[in-house]
């Protein structure tokens, strides 16, 4: 059954005179993979924060078929994983990469159990799968931006959420690792009943499984539908206010610009 797991009705976020989200309506069905695409400052992170429960808004938000109240209940919070845009940490903060990953399992264990050997083994298996086992015993604060982003992603995956929100999860990764991480995201999407929302402005690196795009510009939803139509030269040039040309070669999408 494909019920809506996320439903926005007239969601507006305002800060002072700034309208960060302007009357957005949006429905996402279970197991969909949606790209949230738009230029800097469009409101993409704000939209994820509304879903994650970190943003005040007006309008109606329903998650998993229930209308959300002001205070997010713990059960709903645990069903939503979030990979933030920037994962910053004080270099002196005394935690190892593997310990940071294993915190993803804390929610599932309940209040009175802390992660033990079983959870650490699960974390290690996942880190091996993500080719980051060599980072396990490194202090988190000493990792590079890209390595930290992988830790953040592993932590969110270990949480086994029903909705996974990712804010430019591959922005700091080199091309090979970007491809690897996107493949992994697609694999998890097929294996679990996971609903994925991925924010990006890199239109050259869109996973094949992402079939729907929501285009945001200046707090407004300007397009919602099939990704191939969204990626037309006209639509993208208008969105980024720069002449871009998209073309397909051997089923792959390319973007060219002057
Ligand atoms: N506390 C705030 N007060 C006023 N304006 C804010 C505040 N926080 C964010 N904004 C503005 O809201 C707009 C949307 O921000 P948001 O972070 O959602 O954009 P974004 O689409 O994620 O951009 P980027 O691609 O750069 O990450 C931006 O113009 C930003 O400057
Ligand atoms: Mg952002």
- Asked if 94 contacts 140 with a C-beta cutoff of 8 angstroms, the reply is no
pLDDT for 81-97, tens place per residue?
999 887 777 888 889 99
pLDDT for 63-74, tens place per residue?
999 999 878 888
Task: Return the beta strands (E) in 94-183 as ranges.
Answer: 163-167
Binning pLDDT at 50, 70 and 90, where does residue 2 land?
low
**Residue 44 in contact with ligand 1 by CB distance below 6 A:** yes
Ligand 2: centre distance to CA 125 (Å): 31
pLDDT for 100-117, tens place per residue?
999 888 776 665 667 678
| Mean pLDDT (whole number) for 123-147 | 92
More confident: 49 or 146: 49
**Residue 69 in contact with ligand 1 by CB distance below 6 A:** no
- Asked if 153 contacts 130 with a C-beta cutoff of 8 angstroms, the reply is yes
Ligand 2: centre distance to CA 111 (Å): 32
How far, in Å, CA of 237 to CA of 245, rounded?
8
Q: Residue 11 has what pLDDT?
A: 97
Domain ranges of the chain: 4-79+162-257, 89-160
More confident: 176 or 124: 124
How far, in Å, CA of 105 to CA of 4, rounded?
26
**Residue 84 in contact with ligand 1 by CB distance below 6 A:** no
Selection from 71, 30, 25 nearest residue 47 by Cα: 25
pLDDT for 204-233, tens place per residue?
778 888 999 999 999 999 999 999 888 888
Binning pLDDT at 50, 70 and 90, where does residue 181 land?
confident
- In eight-state DSSP terms, residue 17 is T
| Mean pLDDT (whole number) for 198-208 | 84
Q: Residue 112 has what pLDDT?
A: 61
The CATH number, out of the four listed (1.10.150.20, 3.40.50.2300, 3.40.50.150, 3.40.50.300), of the domain defined by the range 4-79+162-257: 3.40.50.300
Ligand 2: centre distance to CA 13 (Å): 15
| Mean pLDDT (whole number) for 1-15 | 90
* Structural tokens at position 230: 């969204």
How far, in Å, CA of 167 to CA of 189, rounded?
16
What is the four-CA torsion angle of 100, 106, 108, 111, rounded to 10 degrees?
Answer: -170
Q: Which of 16, 19, 24, 42 to mutate to test the pocket of ligand 1 (most atoms within 8 A of CB)?
A: 42
- Residue 93 phi, psi dihedral angles, 5° rounding: -65, 120
Predicted TM-score (pTM) of this structure:
0.90
Contacts of 112 (CB under 8 A, 6+ apart): none
Among 148-157, 168-177, 248-257, the range with the most confident prediction by mean pLDDT is: 148-157
CA 163 to chain centre: 9
Atom of ligand 1 nearest to the CA of 46: 18
| Mean pLDDT (whole number) for 4-13 | 96
**Residue 38 in contact with ligand 1 by CB distance below 6 A:** yes
Q: Whose Cα sits closest to atom 12 in ligand 1?
A: 20
| Mean pLDDT (whole number) for 247-257 | 77
Binning pLDDT at 50, 70 and 90, where does residue 13 land?
very high
pLDDT for 116-128, tens place per residue?
788 899 999 999 9
Q: Which of 44, 50, 168, 198 to mutate to test the pocket of ligand 1 (most atoms within 8 A of CB)?
A: 44
Q: Residue 110 has what pLDDT?
A: 65
Task: Return the beta strands (E) in the chain as ranges.
Answer: 4-15, 18-29, 33-37, 58-63, 66-67, 80-83, 163-167, 195-200, 212-217, 220-226, 244-249, 252-257
User: How many CB atoms are closer than 10 A to CB 27?
Assistant: 14
Ligand 1: centre distance to CA 126 (Å): 33
Whether the predicted pLDDT of 163 surpasses 80: yes
CA 24 to chain centre: 18
**Residue 15 in contact with ligand 1 by CB distance below 6 A:** yes
Ligand 2: centre distance to CA 188 (Å): 24
Q: Are strands 244-249 and 212-217 parallel, antiparallel or unpaired?
A: unpaired
Secondary structure of residue 168 in the 3-state scheme: coil
């Amino acid at each position: 059954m494909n019920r809506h797991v996320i439903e926005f009705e007239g969601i507006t976020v305002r800060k002072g005179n700034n309208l960060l989200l302007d009357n957005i309506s949006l429905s996402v069905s279970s197991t969909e993979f949606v790209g949230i695409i738009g230029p800097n400052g469009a409101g993409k992170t704000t939209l994820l924060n509304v879903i994650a429960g970190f943003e005040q808004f007006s309008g109606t938000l329903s998650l998993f078929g229930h209308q959300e109240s002001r205070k997010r209940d713990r059960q709903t919070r645990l069903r939503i994983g979030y990979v933030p845009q920037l994962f910053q940490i004080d270099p002196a903060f005394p935690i190892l990469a593997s310990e940071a990953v294993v915190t993803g399992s804390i929610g599932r264990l309940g209040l009175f159990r802390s992660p033990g050997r079983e959870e650490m083994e699960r974390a290690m298996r996942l880190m091996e799968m993500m080719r980051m086992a060599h980072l396990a015993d490194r202090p988190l604060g000493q990792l590079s931006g890209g390595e930290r982003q992988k830790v953040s992603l592993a932590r969110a995956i270990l949480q086994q959420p029903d909705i996974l929100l990712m804010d430019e999860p591959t922005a700091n990764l080199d091309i090979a690792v970007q491809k690897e991480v996107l493949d992994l995201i697609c694999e998890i999407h097929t294996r679990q009943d996971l609903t994925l929302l991925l924010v990006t402005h890199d239109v050259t690196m869109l996973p094949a499984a992402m079939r729907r795009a929501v285009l945001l510009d200046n707090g407004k939803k300007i397009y919602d539908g099939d990704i191939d139509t969204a990626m037309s030269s006209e639509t993208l040039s208008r969105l980024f206010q720069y002449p871009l040309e998209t073309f397909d070669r051997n089923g792959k999408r390319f973007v060219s610009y002057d």
